[in-house]
Amino acid sequence: MPIVGIIASSKLTAPATAYDSIQTISVTSNVASVEFTSISATYTHLQIRAIGRSTRVENNTALNMQFNSDTGSNYSWHRLDGDGSTTSAGAGTSQTSIIVDRFTASTATASQFGAFVLDILDYANTNKYKTTRNLGGYDNNGNGLITLGSGLWQNTNAITSIKLIDRSGNNLIQYSQFALYGIKGA
């Protein structure tokens, strides 16, 4: 009698919507930014998964994101933050970057890092502007923050590079890590 719910095959394959690891950047000493370059147009969407901490003398810092070395006022962003008791929101248009998310900084509890997952939708489609969405946050011994955000790059070029910069002008510290994935289909 066959067992229901068990795959009777010795060969398993990933679905067409699987994530492929493209590149991982591990910070080994303090750096002001990290950048993924030479991104091929092989995938439908991209995803960045990150953990990080900053040298900024605060509890947290945000990151700025730019595409293809574009520093013009071609970006917009929105965000919603919550810390368990209060919420806040922000937005910016005609910006020189997208604000991505928050990482812990130097006055936060030692060795605690922030994290986020960020999707870049239709990054290679040359018929539309590029949109992003992100979810992330950090803990600071019960005094943390969670952020939901979105962004827009008003450019139809395919994205071939992504730069992430500490918004405060400080550095990302050792053990911060950024992983870029490609999504084959959706």
**Do 122 and 148 touch, CB atoms closer than 8 A?**
no
**Span 113-151, pLDDT tens digits:** 889 999 999 999 999 999 999 999 988 777 888 999 999
Entry pTM: 0.87
Structural domains in the chain, sorted by start: 19-183 (2.60.120)
Report the pLDDT averaged over residues 14-40: 88
Could you read off the pLDDT of 43-75 as tens digits, one per residue?
A: 999 999 999 988 888 877 889 999 999 999 999
- Whether residue 42 is predicted with pLDDT greater than 90 in this model: the reply is yes
153: β partners: 75, 130
Band the pLDDT of 7: cuts 50, 70, 90.
very low
In this structure, are residues 60 and 103 in contact, taking their beta carbons and an 8 Å threshold? Answer: yes
